[in-house]
Amino acid sequence: MNSAIGGTGSEYRSPGGSVSGWSSPKHRNSVLWIVALATAAIVFDGYDLVVYGTVLPTLLDDPTQLGNLSAGTAGVLGSYALVGVMLGALMAGAFGDRLGRRRMMLINIVWFSVGMGATALAQSITSFGMLRFFTGIGVGGLVATVGAMIAEFAPAAKRNTYNAIVYSGVPLGGVLASTLAILLEDHIGWRGLFWIGALPLVVLLPLAVVKMPESPQWLLARGRYDDARKICDATGIPMPTVTAKPSATSDVVGEKVGFAALATKPYLKPTLLLGFMSFAGLLLTYGLNTWLPQIMENAGFNAKGSLAFLLVLNGGAIVGGLIAARMADRRGPQRIVATTFCIATFALICLTLGLPLPVLLAAVAVAGTGTIGTQVLIYGYVSNYYPTSARAAGVAWCAGFGRLGGIVGPMIGGLLLGAGISSGTAFYIFAGIALAGAGVTLLVPAKSELPTPVALDTIRVPLSVQD
């Protein structure tokens, strides 16, 4: 079990000596609980993302709900939540590497649950937009935190797969939102759908308080050896071995922590490129999830049929994203992310060809893999790219800067539809963005080209701390 604090994460050895195995059934159960809780939390990120798109036709058609709402205003309104997500992600990056993974998780579960419940009570376009912004802060903090957490708990050979499982909660939440909208909106209205988004406060938070430990790797990076040992003893998670004793305020990359570490010379270029990758991925994700039902309704499908396209889009993202993640664990994430961006380009162009319905649905599913599924892979790629002291900041940067793309996506859709531009033109624009995302991905320097952190190479940790 040799790893340096500030490296890419702990490598665990099973009793038989195989790298990335489980050290005990207790270890495996603890990690699977963490993955399950993180996935459940992220499901509601996806739910929050897609539920707005599912209720948008109702809000556009019925001014008695919130007021008169035009397509352009609806696109801007959809972006309010994303501004909040960007702010929440950046706040998590600023504080997450200092406050810890567990504390940030619990805070943000409470935050976005309260926001969703309050949004269900909105009586005007203004209050609806403000509460969407508020909710977005909690969602952004959550997205930025879970990647760092999974990277520090998951065995090395399973990190991309477990990250994909967790972040597949986004399209799974989209499937949940689409399904519940089809089944329940006529009965509980759009407000009832938002009340469902508040359920984590009562069903998820109590479980997270009991079953979600702090990361031992993060504790060691902060010099809290006794706390790390207690958690490892209680959960069966192996105690990472460190080669140097970190201080309580800094640990790697020239003794810089969080965003300051990202600004150092070795990490500046890849940080910018990774940010633009996420920008492209989230522009596609939010643009399609917000406007696909309306685009398909304009193309002649009825309301429930257009929602079915949203379900297929997110379902394709789940299946395709998990398959791609397995390939990323074997071949490396960079090549796979570039490939899935290219797949999105092809699929989005196919949507303009007037295909028969079965083929059209298949193309939508493939588009889900190449857009939403690609963003799932990007989160895993980023969370494993950075050292411990900059991991939450790195994921937060990509989630935060990327949300600028998420803000632009719904606005592009709203402006195009408001101007009477055809759906085919919108799909071509999205396809060009996917192709640009593939190009940016190929420019990211490999981790092997970056220097190994050396700030902690002089002081040995006492033997009592090591396994």
β-strand partners of 13: 19
pLDDT of residue 179: 85
CA distances from 265 to 95, 253, 260, 273, 451 (A): 22, 10, 11, 14, 10
Question: How much is the pLDDT for 250?
Answer: 42
Yes or no: say if 250 and 276 are a contact pair by the CB < 8 Å rule: no
Interacting residues of 263 by C-beta distance below 8 A, sequence separation 6+: 256, 271
pLDDT at 300 (0 to 100): 67
Top-tier CATH class for 25-465: mainly alpha
Core vs surface per residue 347-374: b (16+ CB within 10 A) or e: bbbbbbeeeeeeebbbbbbbbbbbbbbb
19: β partners? 13
pLDDT recorded at residue 29: 87
Q: What is the pLDDT of residue 256?
A: 65
Written as six digits, the tokens of 392 are 């939450």
Inter-axis angle of helices 169-196 and 159-167, nearest 10? 30
What does the alpha-carbon distance between residue 121 and residue 47 come to, in Å, rounded to a whole number?
18
pLDDT at 21: 63
pLDDT per residue, tens digit, the chain (467 aa), is 333 333 333 333 443 344 446 778 888 888 889 999 999 998 987 788 778 878 888 888 877 778 787 777 777 777 788 788 888 888 877 776 677 888 888 999 999 899 999 999 988 888 888 998 999 899 888 887 887 788 778 777 777 778 878 888 877 887 788 888 888 888 898 899 999 989 999 989 999 998 888 888 878 877 888 888 888 888 888 877 654 444 444 444 445 666 777 777 778 888 889 989 999 998 888 788 777 777 777 666 665 666 678 788 888 888 888 888 888 878 888 899 999 999 999 998 888 887 788 888 898 899 999 998 898 888 878 877 877 767 777 877 887 788 788 778 777 777 776 776 676 777 888 899 999 999 999 999 876 556 554 333 333 344 344 43
Q: Using H for helix, E for strand and C for coil, what is the string for the chain?
A: CECCCCCCCCCCECCCCCECCCCCHHHHHHHHHHHHHHHHHHHHHHHHHHHHHHHHHHHHHCCCCCCCCCHHHHHHHHHHHHHHHHHHHHHHHHHHHHHCHHHHHHHHHHHHHHHHHHHCCCCCHHHHHHHHHHHHHHHHHHHHHHHHHHHHHCCHHHHHHHHHHHHCHHHHHHHHHHHHHHHHHHHHHHHHHHHHCCCHHHHCHHHHHHHCCCCHHHHHHCCCHHHHHHHHHHHCCCCCECCCCCCCCCCECCCECCHHHHCCHHHHHHHHHHHHHHHHHHHHHHHHHHHHHHHHHHCCCCHHHHHHHHHHHHHHHHHHHHHHHHHHHHHCHHHHHHHHHHHHHHHHHHCCCCCCHHHHHHHHHHHHHHCHHHHHHHHHHHHCCCCHHHHHHHHHHHHHHHHHHHHHHHHHHHHHHHCCCCHHHHHHHHHHHHHHHHHHHHCCCCHHHCCCCCCCCCCCCCHHHCC
pLDDT of 255 reads 53
The pLDDT, as a whole number, for residue 461 is 41
- Taking the C-alpha atoms of residue 72 and residue 75, their distance in angstroms, rounded to an integer, is 5
Q: How far is CA 219 from CA 3, 17, 346, in A?
A: 14, 25, 45
In the chain, domain spans: 25-465
pLDDT of residue 1: 35
Contact 367, 288 (CB under 8 A): yes
Listed residue (201, 196, 202, 204) closest to 179, CA to CA = 196
d(CA 279, CA 329): 23
- Tell me if 83 sits within 8 A of 411, measured CB to CB: no
* CB 50, CB 289: distance < 8 Å: yes
Residue 244 in contact with residue 370, Cβ under 8 Å? Answer: no
Residue 456, pLDDT score: 34
Radius of gyration over every alpha carbon of the chain, rounded to an integer in angstroms: 22
C-alpha span between 457 and 454 (Å, rounded): 6
